[in-house]
Amino acid sequence: MSYLPASDSDRLVLVTEVGTRDGFQSEPEFIPTETKAQVINALIGAGVRSFEATSFVSPRAVPQLADAAQVMALIERRPGVRLTGLVPNARGAERAAAAKVDMMASFVSASETHCRANLNKSLDAALADFSELAAIARRFGIPLRGAVATAFGCPFEGEVSIDNVLKLVGAYLEGGARHISLGDTTGMATPPVVTRTVEAIRSRFPEAIIALHFHNTRGIGLANVMNGLDLGVREFESSIGGLGGCPFAPGATGNICTEDLVYLLHECGYQTGIDLDALADVARQVQTVMGRALPGQFMRAGPRLKLSSLESVRRAVG
């Protein structure tokens, strides 16, 4: 595996923050709208340039994100920052367009069973919804992103057919979505599974711009990132503090942690444009908001060469 990219342009990695959507959506206590916007604004201040900021799903389905339009209105927009809104259908697309999102993301599961659990409809019906929302996105001139959930495995069905993944990617591209995100919804991805999935998509659809969205359910989220980097993927989705987990899949623990991801990338010679210390400060603030310890490790341990005085630690006696 190569740890250093071959050229300066290849050193750039885009980190897309999904914590205020994928992370917050499962929280049982409503997080104030102002707090959600403050977290995004603080992350922008730390140098994060890409967000899946919120979701325009039915407020009845996900009450935590019922304030999507209000959150968007409170974000301090800056040039070069992309704010994506997740949209399930035409109604959500209309709301997202009115809120002036920079990109719309559609999501469909490659697993028929998970698609019914997550969207309460079949895979084909979900693709029909995508066609409707894609037309709305084109009407408003808003770029599209296609997210493939359970791309690397399903908690109900086990292995997911690569044909299903390719079917979704083809439908997304035909509908105008050049950006494709592969979601590891319950942390079932391993490096070999990631390799065969990415290579199959590249072989059939070389024009697709692939992003990878890993969970750390089984502790190898960052190993999968390293494998993705070696495959030439240069966009990864992550969640501040390691928040998140699909509420419609059993055993789905948090996403890979943004500050841990950025630490890994910087240590391996990649550039993100993100201030890691400022990012860790935001993670600590989010931890305070949540009122519990989050799984992120960098915010506790600090950088590799963080030094301590001998007097500051306990010493063995005897």
| Among the ranges given (95-99, 101-105, 283-287, 300-304), the one the predictor scored with the smallest mean pLDDT | 300-304
Percent of the chain exceeding pLDDT 70 equals 93
Domain map of the chain by residue range? 9-312
Residues 318 and 310: their CA atoms lie apart, in Å, by 18
Residues 205 and 271: their CA atoms lie apart, in Å, by 27
Task: Given the residues 154, 246, 257, 268, select the one marked as catalytic.
Answer: 246
- Token representation of residue 207: 């024009």
Q: What is the chain's alpha carbon radius of gyration, rounded to the nearest angstrom?
A: 19
5: confidence class by pLDDT, cuts 50, 70, 90: very low
SS3 of residue 153 by DSSP: coil
Contacts of 146 (CB under 8 A, 6+ apart): 105, 106, 108, 130, 168, 169, 171, 172, 173, 175, 177, 179, 180, 181
Task: Give the bridge partners for 239, in sequence order.
Answer: 257
- The 10s digit of each residue's pLDDT in 171-214 is 999 999 999 999 998 899 999 999 999 999 999 999 999 999 99
For 158-212, give the DSSP string: BSPPHHHHHHHHHHHHHTT--EEEEE-TTS---HHHHHHHHHHHHHH-TT-EEEE
Residues 157 and 134: their CA atoms lie apart, in Å, by 29
Residues 266 and 271: their CA atoms lie apart, in Å, by 6
- Token representation of residue 49: 């340039």
Contacts of 288 (CB under 8 A, 6+ apart): none
- Token representation of residue 42: 């603080």
- The 10s digit of each residue's pLDDT in 229-286 is 999 999 999 999 999 865 555 555 689 999 999 999 999 999 999 999 999 999 999 9
Residues 261 and 239: their CA atoms lie apart, in Å, by 9
Task: Give the bridge partners for 238, in sequence order.
Answer: 17
- The 10s digit of each residue's pLDDT in 34-55 is 999 999 999 999 999 999 999 9
Is the confidence at residue 92, as pLDDT, over 90? yes
What pLDDT is attached to residue 3? 41
Q: Which of 163, 239, 244, 233 is nearest to 204 (CA)?
A: 163
- Token representation of residue 116: 């019914």
Q: pTM of the entire structure?
A: 0.92
Residues 47 and 281: their CA atoms lie apart, in Å, by 13
Q: Is 246 a catalytic residue?
A: yes
Residue entry with tokens 């070999």? 192
Residues 54 and 101: their CA atoms lie apart, in Å, by 10
Task: Output phi, psi for 189, to 5 deg.
Answer: -70, 145
Residues 247 and 114: their CA atoms lie apart, in Å, by 11
What superfamily in CATH does domain 9-312 come from?
A: Aldolase class I (3.20.20.70)
What pLDDT is attached to residue 8? 72
- The 10s digit of each residue's pLDDT in 121-169 is 788 888 998 999 999 999 999 999 999 999 999 988 899 999 999 999 9
Residues 161 and 81: their CA atoms lie apart, in Å, by 35
Residues 181 and 239: their CA atoms lie apart, in Å, by 15
Residues 189 and 178: their CA atoms lie apart, in Å, by 23
What pLDDT is attached to residue 2? 41
Q: 257: which DSSP letter?
A: B
